[in-house]
Amino acid sequence: MQYAAYVFDAYGTLFDVHAAVRRHADRIGPDGQLLSEIWRAKQLEYSWVRTLMGAYADFWQLTEQALDFALRKVPSADPGLKATLLDAYWRLDCYPEVPAVLKVLKASGAKLAILSNGSPKMLEAAVKSAALDQVLDDIYSVDTVRRFKTDPSVYDMVTTGWRLYPSAVSFQSSNRWDIAGATKFGFRTVWINRSNQPEEYRDFPPALILPSLEALAPGN
């Protein structure tokens, strides 16, 4: 079934959040994967805690603070790599299928957007680095509402901006908690379960579970 709009989470869905550490794996050493996992977990934790506290700080600040914690938690990793890792985060690799899928969806007449916790500058850099700027109609950042996902005001940016009912929007995310929030809001949701994670939030199920974005494109 075709939808009027396809909206994508950015980090973990379009862009590989572990690419920054993997790019410098030889300099980080054997605990690179652990470092990357802690960095990502803390980045998200800080976004949830700050939303609950009503103490917003943009996602780039949280990304830097999370890396500081991860480097302290993983002493085998050289803290002198901080600037190098942060620089790499501006140019994260997109997943291999992403450009082709977005082009096919765009050609079908659907509107395409990113809806992300990322700051506007982070998202613009990632989109340009992956050459996705020509296929996206909009980039929605939580910076506008100063609250992070899964606050309903985040998802409402799309329906208000595009004057659509939530049910007209297909929302794709690799983050199960994000899918739960979008389902509660009323979007048709597709969980991109890239790493074969177990199901959770069973009272807010996705409409579809896929291992990648590839099957979204008509004809696939």
Place of tokens 């379960």: 193
Give CA torsion, residues 184, 185, 187, 190, to 10 deg: -40
Handedness of CA 181, 187, 188, 190 (dihedral sign): negative
The per-residue b/e assignment along 72-94, b for 16 or more CB within 10 angstroms, e otherwise, is eebeebeeebeeebeebbeebbb
Q: For all residues of the chain together, what is the average pLDDT?
A: 95
Instruction: Tell me which residues are annotated as active site.
Output: 9
Choose between 166 and 1: higher pLDDT: 166
Which pLDDT score is estimated for 54? Answer: 97
Q: How far apart, in whole angstroms, are the C-alpha atoms of residue 180 and residue 159? A: 17
Q: Bridge partners of 192?
A: 210
Determine the Cα angle at 194 with ends 153 and 57, to 5°.
Answer: 35
**Which letter does DSSP use for residue 216 in this model?**
G
Kindly report the pTM of this predicted structure. Answer: 0.94
For residue range 91-141, list pLDDT tens digits in order.
999 999 999 999 999 999 999 999 999 999 999 999 999 999 999 999 999
Q: How far apart, in whole angstroms, are the C-alpha atoms of residue 143 and residue 159? A: 17
Q: Bridge partners of 191?
A: 173, 209
Instruction: For residue 143, give both structure tokens.
Output: 């910076």
Which pLDDT score is estimated for 1? Answer: 61
Instruction: Report the percentage of the chain scoring pLDDT > 90.
Output: 95
Edge-to-edge strands, sheet with 138-141: 138-141, 111-116, 5-8, 169-173, 188-192, 208-210
Determine the Cα angle at 175 with ends 99 and 94, to 5°.
Answer: 25
